[in-house]
Amino acid sequence: MIPPMSDVLLESVIFIITSFVMPLFFILAGMTYNSERHRRNLKNYAFSRGRQLLLPYFAIYIIMTLLFIPLTGSIDTYLTPGDLVFWLIYGAGPPGQPTYLWFLPVLYFGLMLFILIEAVTHAQDPRVRWPFVVILPFLALWITDVFSPILVPWRVNSVLFATTFCIIGYEMKRYRGLERWSTESKIRDGVIFIVLSTTFILLSQYNGFVSHPDDWFGKNGWLYLLTGTSGTIAFFMISSLLNPSFFSKRMQFLGVNSQIIYEIHPLFFYLVPILVSLFGFSTTDYESTFTLFWSIRFVIAFGLSIPFTLLILRNRGLSFIFTGYDSK
């Protein structure tokens, strides 16, 4: 849910968020991949992850398309059901108005390419995988240029970036395991964090806004690779400071159910403008305080997503739609 770039402070925050949040998920996917367990049966792993990621993608997309059928006759939905079907088959778009569901197939196909690379190279020196961290982004940027200004079908460029970050995450685990990102010296940790976070913020502000569904990786795709990795490490260092407590347990809940929250939050995000109009605010009032209302929409959408996540987990039908699995 990205706002128009009309506010300097909000713009800076958006630059920071888009510079590392998606890479964070891709890196975590690589870190948590159990190669010893799944390498023996990649077919089962591909089916399991496909059920988790692709089934909700198609289910929610079809529901959205069906909802547009009665709405197009009464309000301006900017897209017809036919448009949605076309972009579903194309695997990208609509231009300028992409659905937030893009992340699910990109993560899936990025993971599949990663596990194939890992399966082929696992018996070799681990350094054999390192060139892919350069080769895959190069191919992604080349494909983007070839198709520009047309969107890349099925976001192959984003898939290649996703695979790259998965490899980075996997190598992080190979090097450090799943240990806390800290040293024995708090002073050393503080210095490393300050230098790392400062570098990350400066690079993210220079590289600017990143939008995978629009085939836009900032001013420079290689800088995106740096901001995605450095921002993730900085996030890990902050997480290492959290001891098992009320806050960290809630963060674990968000992590476990992040897919459902991601899938459900746009519904509440778009409900806020409707509620604003019901309370008597005009469109002019909304636009004049856009930054404030955007922040309110984000907080409300995030907050309401949590209880609805619990509802989804307790309902067999909803659980199947949003997770691909029956809750019971």
Ordered by start, the domain boundaries in the chain are: 8-241, 244-328
What integer pLDDT is reported at residue 318 of this predicted model?
87
What integer pLDDT is reported at residue 76 of this predicted model?
57
Would you call the peptide bond into 149 cis, given omega within 30 degrees of 0 as the criterion? yes
What's the CA gap between 116 and 167, in Å, rounded?
11
- Between 35-39, 216-220, 324-328, the lowest mean confidence (pLDDT) is in 324-328
Can you tell me the mean pLDDT for 21-37? 92
Segment 223-280, tens digit of pLDDT: 999 999 999 999 988 887 766 555 556 666 666 778 888 888 777 766 666 666 666 6
Q: Which residues contact 55 (CB under 8 A, 6 or more apart)?
A: 320, 324
- Between 104-108, 115-119, 182-186, 189-193, the lowest mean confidence (pLDDT) is in 182-186
pLDDT at residue 217 is higher than 60: yes
Segment 1-24, tens digit of pLDDT: 555 545 777 789 889 999 999 999
Q: Residue 211 forms beta bridges with which residues?
A: 216
CA-based nearest residue to 197, from 224, 233, 169: 233
Torsion of the alpha carbons at 91, 96, 99 and 100, rounded to the nearest 10: 110
CA-based nearest residue to 136, from 110, 164, 113: 164
Give the count of alpha carbons within 13 A of 273, CB side only: 13
Can you tell me the mean pLDDT for 192-221? 95
What integer pLDDT is reported at residue 117 of this predicted model?
96
Mean pLDDT, the chain, whole residue set: 84
- CB–CB of 62/203 below 8 Å? no
Q: Residue 216 forms beta bridges with which residues?
A: 211
- CB–CB of 104/53 below 8 Å? yes
Q: What are phi and psi of 327, to 5 degrees?
A: -65, -20
- Find the distance separating the first CA and the last CA of the chain, reported in whole Å: 32
Structure tokens at 247: 């806050």
pLDDT at residue 40 is higher than 90: no
What's the CA gap between 16 and 30, in Å, rounded?
22
> Of residues 245 and 32, which shows the higher confidence score?
32
Structure tokens at 99: 């659905």
Segment 114-126, tens digit of pLDDT: 999 999 999 898 8
Only one residue has tokens 């920071």, namely: 16
**Confidence class for position 88, pLDDT limits 50, 70, 90:** confident
What integer pLDDT is reported at residue 243 of this predicted model?
60
